Amino acid sequence: MSDKIKNEFLELLRSTGRDVEDMIEELESNGFMEAPASAGHHLNVAGGLVEHSLNTCKSALAIWEGMKTLNPSLEKSTPKDSVIIAALLHDVCKSDVYFRTVKQKKNKATGTWEESEGYKVSYKNFPMGHGEKSVIMILPFLELTDAEMLAIRWHMGAWSIDKSNYEEVRNYDTACKLNPLVPIIHAADMLSSHLLESGGDDEDL
Ligand SMILES: [Fe+2]
Ligand SMILES: [Fe+2]
């Protein structure tokens, strides 16, 4: 990862004026700065997670600015620092799940199998889930508002919901209705990975 991306990430986090230094120290030591954003899809390279988090933040700010022109009440209901905090930290759960490995990869030109460096996934460090794991990992180091916790918890949107679980469906729906930050962060996560980030080896295209 380039220093430029990491510096931009840190600058944005500090721009919130919140007490983020303990959080930054934790991100420096828990693997977040070196982790990829995925094992075989978007930004599956060292530093990919920081880059994806930064892309999500830029997308979230663009959505927030755009939606404010349609609904000015957003300025008050959803402060800018909340948009930045939730977007930059939504995937902290990925800090400790990717491990370097050697994979067999088919050479498309020759049709032969070759060894290539990559990542495998293991949840053994803290098998807590996804968004909920991020919230739990952040809270010892940084205070979050309810809206920020909910936006991080539900950032996968309806994709992460067990539709047969009535309570889960109602919780997600209520979180979206009460907190504009929830759909903003979900949309930003989708837009950044689909519009700003190129695919990895496992893309089914
Ligand atoms: Fe995620
Ligand atoms: Fe994400």
Identify the pLDDT of residue 27: 98
Residue of 59 and 104 predicted with greater confidence: 59
Q: Which ligand is nearest to the CA of 133?
A: 1
How far does residue 71's CA lie from ligand 1's centre (Å)?
A: 27
Identify the pLDDT of residue 42: 78
How far does residue 92's CA lie from ligand 1's centre (Å)?
A: 8
Tell me the C-alpha distance between 177 and 196, whole Å: 28
Render the burial of 145-176: b for 16+ CB within 10 Å, e for the rest.
eebbbbbbbbbbbeebeeeeeeeeeeebeebb
Q: Which ligand is nearest to the CA of 156?
A: 1
**Angle 80-89/181-191 helices, nearest 10 degrees?**
50
Residue 124 has pLDDT above 60, yes or no: yes
> In whole numbers, what is the pLDDT of the chain averaged over residues?
94
How far does residue 130's CA lie from ligand 1's centre (Å)?
A: 7
How far does residue 24's CA lie from ligand 2's centre (Å)?
A: 18
How far does residue 91's CA lie from ligand 2's centre (Å)?
A: 5
Is residue 14 within 8 A of residue 129, CB to CB? The reply is no
CB atoms within 10 A of CB 143: 11
Question: For the residues 51-57, what does the mean pLDDT come to?
Answer: 97
Identify the pLDDT of residue 121: 95
Distances, alpha carbon 204 to alpha carbons 14, 41, 76, 101, 198, in Å: 38, 10, 42, 21, 13
How far does residue 112's CA lie from ligand 2's centre (Å)?
A: 33
Tell me the C-alpha distance between 48 and 24, whole Å: 17
